[in-house]
Amino acid sequence: MSIHVEATPNPNALKFTSDKMIFEGNNSISVMPGQTSEYEVLNELMKLDGVDNVFGFQHFITVNKKMDVEWDSLTDQIQEVITQHGY
């Protein structure tokens, strides 16, 4: 299993794509501050210091960071959470 990290047009967002299906169906899932999801992987990502919100659809999760946080300190943590969930 591997996670592919891609830049997005938003410098505060990165797209993490898995070889495995994360979310079944055709509905996207987003979690904003103060919200929780039925998907534990999204809830755990929201607990990471520096994560502002997350968005998931089928094979990928897009993570938006807070503006004062650098990706260098966050990317590995995000990949670890996703990998721990088997994606």
Tell me the one-letter amino acid at 15. K
CA pair distance 3, 84, nearest whole angstrom: 11
Q: Which residues contact 81 (CB under 8 A, 6 or more apart)?
A: 41, 44, 45, 48
Boundaries of every domain in the chain: 3-84
d(CA 5, CA 35): 25
pLDDT in tens, 18-35: 999 999 999 999 999 999
Q: Average pLDDT over the chain, rounded to whole?
A: 96
The confidence band for 1, taking pLDDT boundaries of 50, 70 and 90, is low
Whole-number percent of the chain with pLDDT over 90: 97
> Which of the following CATH numbers is that of domain 3-84: 3.40.1190.20, 3.40.50.1100, 3.10.150.10, 3.30.1370.70?
3.30.1370.70
pLDDT at residue 30, as a whole number:
97
